[in-house]
Amino acid sequence: MKIIMLARNPNLYSHRRLLEAAGEKGHRIDIVNTTQCYVNITAHRPRVQYQGESLSGYDAVIPRIGASITFYGLAILRQFEMMGVWPLNESVAIGRSRDKLRSLQILSREGLGLPVTGFANSAKQAEEIIAMVNGPPVVVKLLEGTQGIGVILGETMSSAKSVFEAFRGAKVNVLVQEFIKEAGGTDIRAFVIGKRVVGAIMRTGAADEFRSNLHRGGTAERVRITPEERSTCVRAAKAMGLNVAGVDFLRSNHGPVIMEVNSSPGLEGIEKATNQDIAGQIVAFIENNAKPARTRTRGKG
């Protein structure tokens, strides 16, 4: 198979592992810088250009689109979909997952466990929102934040209110969520491929850090999850429309609550903690599912 990967940094662990896994199975992966692609939008003959050449003849596209270039990256991915190239994750599904508010609304509609979440436009509603999510303490999150950036714990009414008012004063959209104290500074990342959870890790935050992101000094270890947690994660990925996803959840007193569904989950943490060939399983999924013009939305999202 001839596969193209949209990624700005070919040296990242995840990208190197996918390249290696594909090569071991006799496939070719070309990695192109997403921001250096450009498109020719025309009826019947849509094209993507890169360094003066047309990108054609690919069986599948692996989108590894960074959050900071979501808009442009999805435009390029949609063009490949219009050309009939099968995407590992579709543009519409990635767009849903990158919009924290929309993704929570979709998960809520599916009846999946979530932390109580509030969203408001006016800073005057700060106290009402905080009380509505059973706080303080509460977690205030930027809608566009990634890797724990823009996630703040408001431990008192005054501090939580100040954070909310400051963000809204700067015209920045935020969510306010209940703080799941019983999670104890840990969360679980379940890696979903197709209809299966292929591995799970428990991430624990660094000392004096309530965020458990590995990028913020957290640690990871393999964990066994329950059938209920496994079902929740598979349903969450399906609700987003994602073939491959990292589903982050907390263990609360009333069951698993989903924090985020990541459409470009990193491989390093889960492969090293579980000692599993996750990259190889992704390539195997592509082998079994990539077919021309099989994209459900065909770039219409």
Domains of the chain (ranges; CATH) run 2-89+285-289 (3.40.50.20), 96-113+182-263 (3.30.470.20), 117-179 (3.30.1490.20)
Provide the β-strand partners of residue 139.
153, 177
Residue 147 confidence class, pLDDT cut points 50, 70, 90 = low
pLDDT(213) > 60: no
Give the model's pLDDT for residue 97: 94
pTM as predicted: 0.88
1-15, 86-100, 209-223, 268-282: lowest mean pLDDT where? Answer: 209-223
Question: What's the CA gap between 166 and 164, in Å, rounded?
Answer: 5
Are 40 and 53 in contact, with CB atoms under 8 Å apart?
no
Mean pLDDT of 241-255: 95
Average per-residue pLDDT for the chain: 90
The helix (H) or strand (E) run that includes residue 221 is strand 219-222
Closest of 179, 161, 151 to residue 125, by C-alpha: 161
